[in-house]
Amino acid sequence: MKKMNRKEQNQWIGTQIYKKRVKRKWSQEKFSEIVGVSRTFISNLENGNHAAKIDTYCRITYKFNISLGELFRDDENNAEADDILFMLSDCSKEEINAFVKKSKVLLLMKSRKTMFVKF
């Protein structure tokens, strides 16, 4: 997948949610009740106008009976991303934020071809 900006990411995730909701023949109203958010929020989420908090994505994926990895990845065979998201599923927000920060540092260092990493 090409690198996307935040708006493109929101639109892509929103499309994934829309496809999965329609596949189950749920209206936005019914789905919003199932997830515990407003119908307007679901509409904005599906249209890429908003992103959700991680706990909302967790509720959505739980109701779809899929993993976070299945919602966020574009390649159904990308087990590595699924494994990472599964490991993070039991983490606190602080632990997830620490993981994201360290991952960003690693990616930055890799892009600069830095050979040594110390945490």
Tens-place pLDDT, residues 27-78? 999 999 999 999 999 999 999 998 888 889 989 998 998 888 788 776 544 5
pTM tops 0.85: no
Is 29 exposed, middle or buried, given 0-12, 13-18 or 19+ CB atoms closer than 10 A?
exposed
- Rounded to the nearest 10 degrees, how much is the dihedral formed by the CA atoms of 35, 55, 6, 67? -80
Tens-place pLDDT, residues 105-114: 766 665 555 4
Residue carrying structure tokens 């360290």: 102
Which token pair is 68? 């976070």
